[in-house]
Structure 1
Amino acid sequence: MLFVSLSLMPLQNVLSSIVSRLSLRYAIRTSVLSRQWKHLWCDHPNLRFHLYMLERRRSRGSAPVTEHDLIALVNRVLQQHSGTGIDLLKVSCALHSEHPHHIDRWVKFAIVSKAERLVLRLSKYTKAYLSAIGCPAGRPERYSFPCHIFGASKDDGSYLRCLQLSSVSLNLPAQGFNGFPNLTKLTMLDVKITDEHLECLLSKCSLLEFLGIACCRTLTTLRAICPLNRLKHLKLQDCRSVKHIEMNCGLITLEYSGPMIPLQFATTSSLRNVHINLFDINSTLRIFRRLSMSSDNIAALDYITTGFPSTLQHLETLKLSNDEYKRTTSPVRLVDFIYLRHLRLELNIFGGWETDALDYAYLLDCAPSLEKLELHMWMQQCGHVPYREEHGELRSLPWHPHTHLKSIHITGFFGHKDQVELALHILRCSTMLEAMKIDCRVTIMPEDNHSVIYKTREYLDGYLVATAFVQAADQNNVVEVLGARKVFFTATDGSERFYFVS
């Protein structure tokens, strides 16, 4: 189809189409092919600049590539570019307040060329580093994003659809700021901005559909009183100083990671996907409810069965990460998440003997339409041992058929008695089950417990227990046990033997 469409185009348009599909680096290189190719790259729609573009074969003693080399490259390319048909202008380099005249010129170029996407990543630090370490001491002052440029005329910024800012300072002018009337996606990472300026900025982005804010430590309140009727996806990550959030919108997807705070929406009835990553689950209840809670940690199952409001009946996907210190104690309500299709739980279990994995069997009753269940566990080494028959009979809860659950994935399965009982209960109830994967290996880890290293013995114990008790009870051949395997060999006496490896 592409060949047919290109064959109907004039040769010059064909060549331009080919060059536009190349990266900027290779598009510029085509200029040496012939006179016909010399200026084709000058209409390239995607202008991506980063230090990798300047990598060259270095001989011993050659000078390293610096931000000044990149600045010179950007200035040279933008000077030669036609300034038409630009979709993206992206600069990724550790620049700061010492380079404002260069960056301001690039922003003006994006405005004049009617670029639809502008991305400024002016830091050498990743989001993971900023989340874990925070603002490094002694870092240069951030570049101040020139919001005043977007007030010279009503057309300034009107073509911008996507704006991504990283490690900049953002201060709105007292007057004359027209905002971004057609902006649909706004992402800010490590941006220095006040509560009032952010509220004003959001009030001038009426078509906003996605808002992502991460590691913005100067924010204390996120407020949008003006209606954001098109905002459907809100992503908040590690804004540790924020104490309150109030948004006049109806979200479909909410992602939250960080300390817990009150969170108010105009409505929550449209929420379909909720992802929450917390270490203080007790405070999490205040996201949707204003309750007086004790300071004790609360189990994830308590949160699921009592923390979510009834207005989340249309919830389809729920992902919850939590630290477990004690067993669930609250009464369990039944059949609340009638639309929930996918549930992913990440449990960091510190409670030792106080926790009981079998409690999570109630999830099948709370979500009768559940199709995919993921249960990822990390367990503090607390004296549990793999189950043996001499440890007592396995418990069995009352159950009724679950006719929608098709896929189950369990990790961190060490073969403890309550883990075996939970796996057997799910296997027994799930009449339409197509695949049940039990992985003895740990796939999640608390941020402050990286020093914990599991031994091969734990994985092998989990494998043997899962094989002996869960897989043996499988009558439909749907259970797959991962994390170890049998290796067969022929002994010196001619007999076949095997051993386990992880």
Structure 2
Amino acid sequence: MELAELIIALKKRRQQIQANSKPANPTPGTSIASVAKRMRPSCEQDDYSQGTKIMRYSGPELPEDIWCHIHALLPLPDAARAGCVSREFLRSWRCHPNLTFSQETLGVKRTFSEKICGSDTLAWKFTKIVDQIMEKRAGIGVKTFKLEHCGSRIYTRHLKSWLQVAVNPGLEELVLSLPVVYDAKYYNFPCSLLFNGNGKSISYLNLKSCAFHPVAGLGCLRKLHLSRVHITGDELGCLLSNSLVLKELNLSRCNKITCLKIPCLLNQFNHLTVFGCKTLELIENKALNLCTVRIDTTLVRLPFGDSLRVNNLEMLWAFEYNLVYYARADLPRIMPNLETLGISSAGEVLNTPIVTAKFLHLKLLEICLSVAEGAFSPAYDYLSLVFFLDACPVLETFKLSVWQTRMKHDPVSGDSSLLRKMPGHHHASIKNVKIDGFCSAKSMIELTCHILDNATSLENLKLDPIYVGGYEHVDRLTVHEIGDCSPHTGQRMIREAHKSVLAIEKYIVGKVPSNVKLNIQKPCSQCHSVK
């Protein structure tokens, strides 16, 4: 039985007990309340006499630790509601080991008048509710403490008191997210709480928008996420050098770090993410088992250190140009053992180059060409991506996404005999190809036709003229009712999408072999109608 069903069954059982306790025919002159009181078991009379509204539940006799375990598996709001059923459940709720405080879980909402007047009492409402809960948690162990502060004001005295209760020798996960509008340096995370022994069991630490100045390491720390955190490279190095079981580090917009040093002592370290750290000049990696890197620039601009064992790389940055060119030209030398590669480029002024070095192990290639406003460079030749595919002899999956608000490439026209061909390039391992944001550009039609002619193992080809940003839909009409079929696509690209479908039908459909499954995601007839 699911936990939610169990709680419902317990509530129904309580209602049945109450219903069976009512007398069928009370004697004249006797109040219903007095009769009900006589009919209650003595234990319930004691609760009634104390004026409480919480009834004792005479359901299945289970040890208290079993009930605590059941409640620990419930989300925080459900566990709180279950605490209203009986005193036993109330005790279980007060011992709930996983505390997640956010605007959503606490149901804190800004009133209409506050929105109009601009008065922000959201933070005070949030603080008051959390205070009431944490006051009853003193001395009770917490395994997970997640706080996503809402409102623009931080009551630091209250925040510190919550952390004093939450940070205990049994704490495993600590997540503290303060408002982005708040300057990180003004809230100094009380590191003494972590490094006096109470943080010895923490395996996941996630801090956002605060100052953090560690003076030691955390022996059980496996995942560290820092976003908009005021911390220097030396301070972070101190933490890393003394957290020997660390596996994952995620840094976002930590602008006090100029040099990131990952020591060789981190034998289990395998995942690094670095985004938006503007002052970062060097990553000195000495961890031998680092295999996954997500970064927002090129490794030529940001020297990296040991990268021979890296087999998963994502370069995702909306303002970096020519990442595809760089990846083809330099990555085989820097990271020769890549198995998956994701690239997001804001523009390609240079076509994909012809280079002799190959990606001998690459099986998944994802390229996203994204322009927030305007057209992707019309000078870029989509057909030149053939040189990238040619460098990947074991490539199995190729995904191309193009996001633009208008199309300026030369559209396809005339007879199919006018399309360019690139003989001598064979892609024997490619099985799956998806092009998201497919357009009627002549070079994109040529690229698709080339794949059909030369990918001898091709099984699936999916073409979607509407950019969906990673969302997968079987049929747009099936999700139209929930508003999830890209209804905000501009009219220019809607018209282009309809042109693309016609181009697919004219130039591509007839070239698809019988053993290849072609999936054309047509525009939604309601969201993407041409006006």
Q: TM-score range by the shorter chain?
A: 0.7 to 0.9
Q: Deviations over 1:11-59 (max 9, x none)?
A: 4343223222222233233333223323111221211112334437999
Aligned to 1:318, which of 326, 338, 341?
Answer: 341
| Partner residue, 1:46 | 98
1:212 paired with 2:268, answer: no
Aligned to 1:120, which of 176, 183, 196?
Answer: 176
Output aligned runs, 1:8-407, within 5 Å.
10-55=62-107, 66-81=122-137, 83-84=139-140, 86-94=142-150, 99-123=155-179, 125=180, 142-152=186-196, 155-172=197-214, 177-225=215-263, 227-250=265-288, 251-257=290-296, 262-278=301-317, 298=322, 300=324, 302-310=325-333, 312-328=335-351, 330-333=353-356, 336-348=358-370, 352=377, 354-378=379-403, 381=406, 383-389=408-414, 393-399=418-424, 401-407=426-432
SS of alignment partner, residue 418 of structure 2: coil
Q: Deviations over 1:443-475 (max 9, x none)?
A: 469xxxx99863432111111111111111112
Deviation at 1:187, TM superposition (A): 0.4
- The one-letter code matched in structure 2 to 1:304 is A
Q: Percent identity?
A: 26
**Structure 1 residues 121 and 383: CA distance shift in structure 2, 3 A:** closer
Contact 1:386/1:461 (8 A) holds in 2: no
CA–CA distance in structure 1, aligned partners of residues 81 and 427 of structure 2: 61
CA–CA distance in structure 1, aligned partners of residues 391 and 411 of structure 2: 29
CA–CA distance in structure 1, aligned partners of residues 511 and 243 of structure 2: 57
SS of alignment partner, residue 119 of structure 1: strand
Larger Rg: 2
- The one-letter code matched in structure 1 to 2:452 is L
CA–CA distance in structure 2, aligned partners of residues 84 and 192 of structure 1: 31
| Partner residue, 1:417 | 442
Deviation at 1:429, TM superposition (A): 1.3
Deviation at 1:414, TM superposition (A): 2.0
Contact 2:229/2:253 (8 A) holds in 1: yes
Output aligned runs, 1:441-480, within 5 Å.
441-443=466-468, 454-476=492-514, 477-480=516-519
Structure 1 spans left out of the alignment, 5+ residues: 126-135, 282-296, 488-499
SS of alignment partner, residue 211 of structure 1: strand
Contact 1:97/1:142 (8 A) holds in 2: no
- The one-letter code matched in structure 1 to 2:229 is V
SS of alignment partner, residue 438 of structure 2: coil
TM-score (norm 2): 0.75
Deviation at 1:379, TM superposition (A): 5.3
- The one-letter code matched in structure 2 to 1:342 is L
| Partner residue, 2:15 | none
CA–CA distance in structure 2, aligned partners of residues 379 and 164 of structure 1: 34
Deviation at 1:384, TM superposition (A): 3.3
**Structure 1 residues 470 and 159: CA distance shift in structure 2, 3 A:** same
TM-score (norm 1): 0.79
| Partner residue, 1:284 | none
Contact 2:382/2:447 (8 A) holds in 1: yes
CA–CA distance in structure 1, aligned partners of residues 461 and 194 of structure 2: 55
- The one-letter code matched in structure 2 to 1:277 is L
Deviation at 1:89, TM superposition (A): 0.7
Q: Which has the higher strand share?
A: 1
Aligned to 1:434, which of 434, 459, 464?
Answer: 459
**Structure 1 residues 462 and 164: CA distance shift in structure 2, 3 A:** same
Contact 2:144/2:172 (8 A) holds in 1: yes
Q: Which moved more, 1:55-64 or 1:397-406?
A: 55-64
- The one-letter code matched in structure 1 to 2:495 is R
| Partner residue, 1:293 | none
Contact 2:328/2:352 (8 A) holds in 1: no
CA–CA distance in structure 2, aligned partners of residues 231 and 268 of structure 1: 13
RMSD: 3.6
Structure 2 spans left out of the alignment, 5+ residues: 7-58, 471-487
**Structure 1 residues 467 and 158: CA distance shift in structure 2, 3 A:** same
